[in-house]
Amino acid sequence: MAKHLLYATVTFMKSRIQRDYRNDIHYVWCSEHFDSTKLSIYAPGSRTPRRADPIAVYRELAEDVATGDLHSAKIASQRASLKKLAIEWAAGGEITKDQKEEIVYIVDHALIQEWRPLLYLIPRNRVTDRLELVPMEKRASVEEEYIIRDLQRSEFEIIEP
Amino acid sequence: MTQTLKAFTADQRALLLARIAQRYLPNPGIDPEISPDDAAIQERILEEIKAHLRIASEEEPDAQKALINYLSEGMSRAVLENIDLKAIEYRLGQRGALPIRSYKMKFDDDLKKSGVTTQRVQDAIYKADQIQHLHYSEPEQPDKNLSLFLKHHRSSDHDSYTLLVLGRRQGSVIHVFEAWRVYHSEVDLSSARTPLDFLRLL
């Protein structure tokens, strides 16, 4: 049975970039399981690997931020990802050249606290029609993962425990 | 910069590096198809980068991390090539979009009259409970680019107060000109949700 909530772990920086440069429309990769380790081994979602589990991603980022790990692989990946997106958005005419430069500047000059994780809680009934199942070969495991390309700010809650 | 990349403009270099970076980033499978020609160029650049980084195999420990960092720095160089970084900083600063620690603070001489020490004011700014940057786009109203900071000081007796600090932003500089201790026993602040609400109640 489909769960009522979807979960996504997003860095504060990514959330901020989408708020400020994407009209507060958020692209998220989400899961219907928050913590697969708490599931029965026979339950759907129980085989979600650590790198796709929202709580595991949250904990890894939170620890890297708390310890001030400037060489965090996770943060390096996020940094590259946001710059990549800015370049592609500009190439596609979705943002201006100035905005692309600003995003790259912001990402390169961000304080480590700006990479702290946020949890998005997304009531499924608000996005059912726009949920895209990630193709099997692109998932971290056989467990289901979803993309929402145009999540509106009114469609989710952010918690920062 | 690799030999192959040198043949491209800064914008093209940025896009090529972005496409290569995609291989090492979480990929939900919704990226545009890459033409065979582009794929061949990307492959050549990637081989040059690996040679530069002395990476024989991506399975080596930290190989992917090194590649991501190289690509990330390459994207920055391509995007910010010949760009005045101070101008970007100014724009962001003016909009209140810089991290608060990236702003330079200048304290107005009249601030001393408030009876609040500079140390307390700095504490209210850098460890603020709430920050609000007001932004006016009209160039003739630069004085309205106000930044407001709130720092709550709670005490078990009747001396709990909130320190409200006001500054004017000019690029990446905040000119701090006012600081008020607002005692909770004197002003009912229960309806205030934002620093601006606080200011309106005074």
pLDDT tens digits, A114-127: 999 999 999 999 99
pLDDT at B109: 87
> What beta strand segments (E) does chain A contain?
5-11, 25-30, 117-123, 132-133, 146-152, 157-159
- Compare all CA atoms of chain A with the CA of B85 and give the residue at the minimum distance: A105
> Best interface-test mutation with B: which of A10, A61, A83 has the largest number of B CBs within 10 A?
A83
Each of the 202 residues of chain B gets a pLDDT tens digit; together they read 788 899 999 999 999 999 999 888 876 555 555 666 688 999 999 999 999 999 988 888 889 999 999 999 999 999 999 999 999 999 999 999 998 888 999 999 888 888 888 899 999 999 999 999 987 766 556 567 899 999 998 887 668 899 999 999 999 999 999 999 988 888 888 888 889 998 888 8
For residue B101, list chain A residues with Cβ-Cβ distance below 8 A: 111
Answer whether B172 touches A (CB < 8 Å). no
The minimal CB distance from A83 to the residues B26, B72, B83 is found for B72
- Specify the pLDDT at position A124: 93
Last residue of a domain, one of B80, B106, B130: B80
Among the residues of chain B, which ranges form H helices?
10-22, 36-53, 63-80, 85-95, 118-126, 195-201
Helix, strand, coil content of chain A in percent (nearest 5): 50, 20, 30
A101–B contact, CB cutoff 8 A: yes
CA end-to-end distance (rounded Å), chain B: 58
- What's the CA gap between A81 and A84, in Å, rounded? 5
Q: Do B21 and A81 touch (CB under 8 A)?
A: yes
The beta strand positions in A43-145, using DSSP E, are: 117-123, 132-133
The chain-wide mean pLDDT, for chain A, equals: 88
User: B62 with B119, same domain?
Assistant: no
What is residue B35's predicted lDDT score, i.e. its pLDDT? 64
- A38-69 pLDDT, tens digit per residue, is 667 666 666 666 666 889 899 999 999 999 99
Q: Which one of A60, A77, A98, A112 makes the best mutation probe of the B interface by having the most chain B beta carbons within 10 Å? A: A77
- Position B178 in a domain: yes
* Contact between chains at B25 and A73 (C-beta distance less than 8 A): no
Q: Any idea what the CATH number is for the domain that residue B151 is in?
A: 3.30.2310
DSSP per-residue codes, B133-187: E-----TT-GGG-EEEEEEEE--SSTT-EEEEEEEEEETTEEEEEEEEEEETTTS
A111:B25 CB<8 A: no
For chain A, what is the domain count?
1
Residue B85 in domain: no
Rounded to 5 degrees, φ, ψ at A5 are: -120, 150
Domain span including residue A65: 5-159
B62 in any annotated domain? yes
Contacts of A102 in chain B (CB under 8 A): 88, 91-92, 97
Does B122 share its domain with B173? yes
Residue B4 vs residues B9, B37, B68: alpha-carbon distances, Å:
11, 14, 18
From the candidates A9, A101, A144, A145, which should be mutated to test the interface with B, based on the most B CB atoms within 10 A?
A: A101
CA-angle at B198, arms to B194 and B202, nearest 5° = 165
Other CB atoms within a 10 A radius of the CB of residue B100 amount to 17
Q: Which of A29, A86, A104 sits opposite B26 (nearest CB)?
A: A29
Type and span of the H or E element at A63: helix A54-66
What's the DSSP call for residue A65? H
Q: Verify that B68 and B158 share a domain, yes or no.
A: no
User: Where residue A32 falls among pLDDT bands split at 50, 70, 90?
Assistant: confident
Q: Which domain holds residue B124?
A: 97-201
Task: Give residue A72's pLDDT band: very low, low, confident or very high (50, 70, 90).
Answer: very high
Q: What is the pLDDT of residue A43?
A: 67
Q: How confident is the model at residue A145 (pLDDT cuts 50, 70, 90)?
A: confident
Rg (CA), chain A: 16
Three-state DSSP state, B129? coil
Q: For residues B9 and B32, what is the distance between their CA atoms, to the nearest angstrom? A: 21
Q: How confident is the model at residue A139 (pLDDT cuts 50, 70, 90)?
A: low
Residue A140: pLDDT band with limits 50, 70, 90: low
